[in-house]
Structure 1
């Protein structure tokens, strides 16, 4: 294997900054971060001017990209297209996200991701099943006719991933404690989302089985003075992480800043919730027989309801910095915190023996290059 390096004026390793430094890797593993002046002269090296190197961005909610919706094409080639579209926006790894569908299609999706990982499709980290175990009162763009509350026996009928990570978003109030325990025993990360729960429905017993909340504020019961709802419970639950869409459309910047102030450090992380329109030629796509279009940079269905987002991770990071979050915190929200949320022990930091994964951004936080498993794109 050959020793390789990328360098920039600034490098953030997930903990601290290094000036005029280089990231060295061999194969798929990071070897060191060193000053550029200490680089061996005989290695493959690329320098990025006016740039910062950060841990590779991880997006745990991606419905589509490059004119492909995962729901519409449950194949490894579709996963590859989606990963390529998001890589151009700084995303090193992602979870292709399956919107509520039939049990047979859930199994097809699981099999497609297993095969994509086996075929080493670049950037696929696992799968996110967003439904169909949701609350019809907060269905969003999902087809509520597909919703049901799964029993442990029904969950056991699926052939779950043998490699990679699995995230399940469910309306916890509609899921039995036994089913939640089954998912946790299987090693699946569980998030509460598309929930209309009252605070007392999210019991302490259930909350101990919940790892996070999906797209905070959106498609969940709101915080009110006499009823904290899912939003209030998410804010008060210190052990859970909250993902949040930072396109400035789904969540007001001040609501984002409030969540950041309330949640413990490391428990608020960026997702795009991006659809097929990212990297699209047509700026529209089909979902459950309905056409979704980009209107004024928003994705809307025929009723004018929001239907996912039209944004990449690099712009998402740029937004939260513009809203007042310091750069290093914004970078961690896009890389370090998602890696911890998904229990990825070899991602989220630029340290020796971690996976060789990094995102290179210019001074406007636009993606310049992405390093994934030791390959630079």
Structure 2
């Protein structure tokens, strides 16, 4: 093993700025061998190292998007295959995303099983960028259905949960309305290492009991598709912001959530507990800017993704623009970069991604001065 490791080609990216997830390095090199980071060094590199110089660009930990419904004209719901996942990952690499969770919008149990099997297959085949799957529904509340088909909603039993072929080599993330799932089912998911997030929920604080809150790892796209804060009721929004152990994902396209609310959420959540997601649809990297979901056409109008009734139906944005937005709104650059990489890794309990440190997976996002993506390093392979 050690002999083979020594024979691997050593590669490096040199840049004016490298942010490792904790601190900045000037005029340095990110060095990796195979799919593993060796170090960040400021010294001259041996001639045997294959070097890519990106000049005045910045290298940051690879972006991780835990909610991606589609990309490159492909919706995961419509092309629930390893090839579909590959197309989605390729589309989002153009926007700086190293890793993602293909996200299945509320579907039938049969299609959910297909999605789980497809994700396992994609990981086995080495599809670059896929680290698991996100099942967004169908265990949701019809009063906060958004673009989901409420006819598919139900409350799962333990027997039904046991019947799913959960992904073994990657992350299983589930978004559910906690008020519609009993505590026994929530406990089963936790015991089987499924990451549980509350979303598309109309719960009151009374319904989000202490026991149920303890079973939640996070809250999905806070402020959107959840009961709002009122004078005598914190709703899911207030509960999410005040549940310190749970992370909150947030969409920062300037359409789903007002910039001031993004700043408020950041102020209220403990460090590391607010993270960026795109909730992107097939229109990202698309040639047509339109697609079909559950038989209904969704299209980009004035920068928004809407259905035939004009309701928001996911987002039309990549991680790089999301990062640029959050920084422009006043959040500190290093913190925003962590919100796009380190914090999602922590939310999914991943211990070898999210920072640029020796022994971690060789994954990085190279950004232009305006934070648009220039290149992405995924498991040792640099994709311009």
Shared fold (TM-score greater than 0.5)? yes
Deviations 1:243-301 (Å, cap 9, x if unpaired)? 00000000000010000000000000000000000000010000000000000010000
Question: 2: distance between equivalents of 1:54 and 1:224?
Answer: 39
Partner of 1:148: 154
Question: 2: distance between equivalents of 1:274 and 1:40?
Answer: 42
Question: 2: distance between equivalents of 1:194 and 1:158?
Answer: 22
Task: List gaps (5 residues or longer) in structure 1.
Answer: none
Aligned length: 376
Deviations 1:283-339 (Å, cap 9, x if unpaired)? 000000000000001000001000000000000000000000011000000000000
Partner of 1:259: 265
Pair 1:124-2:130 in alignment: yes
Question: 1: distance between equivalents of 2:50 and 2:37?
Answer: 14
Q: 5 Å matches for 1:135-284?
A: 135-284=141-290
Q: Structure 1 residue 40: deviation in Å?
A: 1.5
Partner of 2:13: 6
Question: 2: distance between equivalents of 1:147 and 1:259?
Answer: 29
Q: Structure 1 residue 202: deviation in Å?
A: 0.5
Partner of 1:18: 25
Question: 2: distance between equivalents of 1:161 and 1:327?
Answer: 34
Secondary structure of the residue aligned to 2:159 is helix
Question: 2: distance between equivalents of 1:199 and 1:285?
Answer: 37
Secondary structure of the residue aligned to 2:103 is strand
Question: 2: distance between equivalents of 1:341 and 1:172?
Answer: 18
Could you say what the CA RMSD is over the residues aligned between the two structures, in angstroms? 0.5
Q: Structure 1 residue 144: deviation in Å?
A: 0.2
The structure 1 residue matched to 2:306, chosen from 300, 309, 332, is 300
Question: 2: distance between equivalents of 1:214 and 1:181?
Answer: 19
Q: Structure 1 residue 49: deviation in Å?
A: 1.6
Conserved? CA contact 2:204–2:227, under 8 Å: yes
Task: List gaps (5 residues or longer) in structure 2.
Answer: 1-7
Please identify, of 44-53 and 265-274, the stretch whose mean Cα deviation from structure 2 is larger. 44-53
Q: Structure 1 residue 39: deviation in Å?
A: 1.5
Deviations 1:54-99 (Å, cap 9, x if unpaired)? 0000000000000000000111000000000000000000000000
Question: 1: distance between equivalents of 2:305 and 2:263?
Answer: 24
Q: Structure 1 residue 42: deviation in Å?
A: 2.2
Partner of 2:334: 328
Question: 1: distance between equivalents of 2:191 and 2:22?
Answer: 32
Question: 1: distance between equivalents of 2:154 and 2:166?
Answer: 19
Q: Please list every run of at least 4 consecutive aligned residues from structure 1 whose deviation after the TM superposition is greater than 6 angstroms.
A: none
Question: 2: distance between equivalents of 1:50 and 1:362?
Answer: 8
Question: 1: distance between equivalents of 2:109 and 2:137?
Answer: 10
Q: 5 Å matches for 1:332-351?
A: 332-351=338-357
Question: 2: distance between equivalents of 1:170 and 1:30?
Answer: 36
TM-score under structure 1 normalisation?
A: 0.99
Conserved? CA contact 2:10–2:48, under 8 Å: no
